[in-house]
Amino acid sequence: MGVRHDQTTDPDVLAALLQARRGTAFFARKLNELSDADLDGDSLLPGWSRRHVIAHVGYNARAIARLVGWAATGVEDPMYPSTEVRDHEIVFGATLSPIALRHLFDHSAVHLNVEWRDLATPAWHHLVRTIQGREVPATETVWMRSREIWVHAVDLDNGAALRDLPVSVLERLLADITGAWHARGTDTNLVCRVTDQPQILASGDMNASSPLEISGRLADVVSWATGRGPAGVMAYRSGEAVASVPSAPRWI
């Protein structure tokens, strides 16, 4: 039997799929470096062990696969019935045996990849709905997964850092976050300034007369913006350093 390839020939979708698949390989490598006993250790997310992170990533793949199936068939299949069901699923998943937890990640990743592979080109533009209620084309499911898999590989707290992520992932992540702040109006008088990527020099409330400016390397600014701490960033107002870097506004 010959090797099966992605049905889509859209170069943008194929590039996005490659990035998501590389993220899956990155997460798998960091997971495989952990012993079964290590899974009980804390993650970088408050209140979550590594088990919770792995369960979340596994069930997230299944949820996104449901959206891809919806795009393929036209039959509505939500990511989750509710946020409460999603949260309960993660708590339950964290109780699985180590081998079952590893299988959950492996099998759900393969399932999602097959759903993407078999999605015909026209169906990539069919609208589906995220758990937040946004209607998006199926192409967006690839970024939804990339975001989860790359960032949570860092949250396993197994040596990976946000600086290990591709610049393109970090750039889009920061654009997502600042866009969400703007939509909620929580970016008033706030500017993020990236010092090592001139092409995305600044974002935020650019019309503010005296904004709070969060400045640092791209990976460090993203770390702060995602609520993962202020290491590596500085805060300024009117050119003067602020003694303590404040917490970022809520993102999701």
**Contact 33/54 with Cβ under 8 angstroms?**
no
* 59 and 182 part of one domain: no
CA distance to 23, 26, 180, 183, 200, per residue, from 29 (Å): 10, 5, 31, 36, 30
* 64 and 111 part of one domain: yes
Residue 85 lies in a domain: yes
**How many domains would you assign to the chain?**
2
- Residue 3: band (very low, low, confident or very high) from pLDDT cuts 50, 70, 90: low
> Which one of 3-12, 54-63, 79-88, 203-212 scores highest in mean pLDDT?
54-63
Q: What is the pLDDT of residue 1?
A: 45
* 154 and 175 part of one domain: no
* 172 and 142 part of one domain: no
- Residue 132: band (very low, low, confident or very high) from pLDDT cuts 50, 70, 90: confident
Lowest mean pLDDT among 65-74, 140-149, 230-239: 230-239
Residue 27 lies in a domain: yes
From 140, 160, 180, give the residue that closes a domain. 160
* 155 and 192 part of one domain: no
* 190 and 210 part of one domain: yes
| Cβ burial, residue 14 (10 Å; 0-12/13-18/19+) | middle
Q: What is the pLDDT of residue 120?
A: 94
Mean pLDDT value across the chain:
93
| Secondary structure class of 2 (helix, strand, coil) | coil
From 135, 160, 185, give the residue that closes a domain. 160
pTM beyond 0.75, yes or no: yes
Burial string for 230-243 (b: 16+ CB within 10 Å, else e) reads bebbebeeeeeeee
- Residue 206: band (very low, low, confident or very high) from pLDDT cuts 50, 70, 90: confident
Rounded average pLDDT over 178-203:
84
Residue 118 lies in a domain: yes
* 178 and 155 part of one domain: no
Residue 229 lies in domain: 167-241
* 26 and 56 part of one domain: yes
* 136 and 180 part of one domain: no
Residue 248 lies in a domain: no
Query: How far apart are alpha carbons 221 and 170 in whole angstroms?
Result: 9
Residue 148 lies in a domain: yes
From 160, 182, 200, give the residue that closes a domain. 160
* 66 and 144 part of one domain: yes
Residue 250 lies in a domain: no
Residue 204 lies in a domain: yes
Pick from 56, 70, 48, 68: which is nearest to 101 by CA?
Answer: 56
18-53 tens-digit pLDDT:
999 999 999 999 999 999 999 999 999 999 999 999
Beta strands (DSSP E) in the chain are 127-129, 135-137, 190-194, 202-204, 212-216, 234-237, 240-241
Q: What is the pLDDT of residue 40?
A: 98
Residue 251 lies in a domain: no
Query: How far apart are alpha carbons 103 and 88 in whole angstroms?
Result: 19
* 24 and 60 part of one domain: yes
CB-CB neighbours of 182 under 10 Å: 15
Domain CATH number, residue 172: 3.30.1050.20
Domain CATH number, residue 60: 1.20.120.450
Q: What is the pLDDT of residue 197?
A: 77
* 92 and 141 part of one domain: yes
With 80 as the cut, is the pLDDT of residue 183 above it? yes
Return the structure tokens found at 227.
């609520």
Query: How far apart are alpha carbons 156 and 164 in whole angstroms?
Result: 14
